[in-house]
Structure 1
Amino acid sequence: MTALARETTGGMLLRRLRSPAAWRETVDIFAVLTAASLPWSTSLAGIFNALMLLCMVPFLDVRAFLQSLKRPICAAPIALVLLALVGTLWSDASWGARFYAVNPTIKLLVLPVLLYHFERSPRGRWIFIAFLVSCALLSVMSWLVAFYPNLALKTDPAERGIFVKNYIDQSQEFALCAVALAYPIVMLLREKRYWFAGLLTALALSFFVNMTFVVVSRTALVTVPIMFGVFALLHLKWRSIALISATLLVAAILAWQASPYLRHTAERFSDDYTRYMEKGEPTSAGLRLEFWRKSLGFFAEAPIKGHGTGSTRGLFERVATPAGQYQASAEVIGNPHNQTLNVAVQWGVIGIAVLYAIWILHLRLFRGDGLANWTGLLVVVQNVFTSLFNSHLFDFHEGWMYVIGVGVAGGMVIRGQQAEAKTGEAGS
């Protein structure tokens, strides 16, 4: 009986190893684990992502995959990686610095792979649900850490309510989840499924309450209204927009009055700017203005092809004031905290054209209706506007949010378009 059971188990395992469907399901599982681990651990996300890519190999249709790479939505991210590699040839930085600067672009190569896979997999929603649930659990942990700081794995006392990573990453996650839930909530209300809509509304509000009373980045404060505005213009009537806008305005006023932390975060904008302009102090806002001013100068020196991959830090070192001075002008950095300027300094107008082509092509991909279109559109919009204040396409966490979000949602959209085309052909 035992031998028979072993033979049966071995046969099942062998059939599974030979089954493309089984491998595809395994890829989906690792994609779910990647999305679920991203809010908590960069290492785990990297491991699961590598396993996901490895499991694609046994059943990959090489011809179909190579054919898919010809699509502009896939070719543009690949072009930016190739530009980063070619840009090493005219950079004055050390070769170590050049290849280190290539590394942030490599994740973009995973985007065409995800588009290809989820064009064929019916489990794209699993990834969104996994990320949402993971962020909800992180929100609970954030509240616990706010009241019991000793529970935090972070040692920075300034980052209140942060269990892992940092407040910028956490704010990006919570803002994306909260605004993304607006679409299913509205759809559920139209279908008169009030209980489920109420549950998702409570979940969305929990993210906003955390950002109001625990911790939030100033980038999120700026971009959340923009994301809501995009949703309102696409999915609501003008009467509903006016009513919801009034409600949100009242809620914002109440949150402002109830949360000293929120007022302090917002008031730091003007305070940081004043201290930088009057005294040259390296405040958060002041440093960004300093980085942007100098980066524009570097771009003007080499506007067509830039200074080459990895050149940014050396350029800042060249124009920095003496290090002993407590001045913003003394700071040296390899990232100007603006995605466009980050690309412009290294690869000039050529790089800017490729970067904007990526964003525009991906925005156009999500022009339709449906959850996948809305989620993908929101991921791109968030990345575009937060990249005004950070290099979020190249940053590890936000960059992977973009790659996974656009890759999965884009694959789902293409899959839906193909299904509609087949239905249309069958009907005719």
Structure 2
Amino acid sequence: MQAFFVAINPNLSYKLCMKVMKFGGTSMATAQSIKAVANIIKKTEECVIVVSAPGKRFDGDEKITDLLYDCYKTYLELGRCDVRFKEVIRRFEELSLALGVNSLGPLLTDIKNEINGGKSIGYVVSRGEFLIAKLLAEYAGVEFVDAIGLIKFDGSGKIDYETTRSRVNKRLRGLGVCIVPGFYGVLPNGIIRTFSRGGSDITGSLIAASLDAEVYENWTDVDGIYFANPLLSKSNKIISKLSYEEMRLLSLMGAYVLHHDSIAPAVQASIPVKIKNTFNPCSDGSVISNIGANETVCGIAIKENLCLWEYGDSEFIRDYLASRQFVMPLPSGQRQFVITEMANAEEIDEIISTKSGVSAKKISVITAVGENIKKSACLVTKRILDCVSDLEFLVYDGALGLYVGVNPDNAVELYQKICASLEFN
């Protein structure tokens, strides 16, 4: 992602105390959750609210964005999207009725006609954010501001940071509380362009950086960032604070946290990012900033389905590793080791059979993360070795991460043991 810099004119008299709050798909999925969001909004004054499209309400349900992708696909195949779009209409009409606000029926009809008229995919799949922002603005009694007047892309499809910053400040500063749909902006030719999935996080981060916000709050359905994966570990400890770099490494190594790129503008502007729970707003949450965690180990991640390569031929890097999404070199002697995401068995067999001196095995990597590990690296290492008798490698990067390579067959069991050993450190 491109660098983003915020320039503040000291001669301007506005207050630098605005807050940006982003609510995810779970927070916008039902009438009950939207009421919870509205109650949170009522307690704010100078605030920009960014929303995602409604997510799943229950297991097996469909996200609105997925429905809209299907609508676009159906239009391409059949020339019309009417049948599939009925589910979108039903979802929003149910929300309008339950919240006691005006029906979005006329707007939904217009959108259906636009899709059938050949509108771009960016337009189609962004309508979930657009519609839910309209609905929330009416229910909460605050102003709706469309993202197409704020978030600008250049002709190559990259974010036009300068224009975006200018438009955000001109339109939003001093407005009070307003609702902005996330996920999309507009190209110079007027065509709507979306970010990648999770793009509402980028919208919120961009607006926070543009306004030099006091804080960027990301509201979701958990109390914060967990010390360990609660689905794999008995730990329910929340990390109260961690640094941007600690969060980045946890994300890279498999933890369920915000992706670093999605909040990059806020990070580069040194704006604190706070993770909060819509359904438990009194919880303190987690704060991500320039200040690292107090603990020696702030969190433990596990990344599975990885491949450990051993090789001696530099051609291997040029021909294969350069194309991998995840590449983690390991310090070694004359032989070289590197970890990548797992390739399929046929691809691995072909590489091993055609390149001499190359071997590969499936592994999992458990990573202890913390800026303070450097103060107690020997102690942390000892605790890990007490939990793991058979490991592929143990590497400390000298900064934030201590990486443990283990057999995938018992990786989760070892992860649980390491988490229990290091949780209270």
Superposition TM-score, scaled by structure 1 size: 0.24
More helix by share: 1
Structure number with higher strand proportion: 2
Query: Using CA pairs below 8 Å that are at least 6 residues apart, which structure has the higher relative contact order?
Result: 1
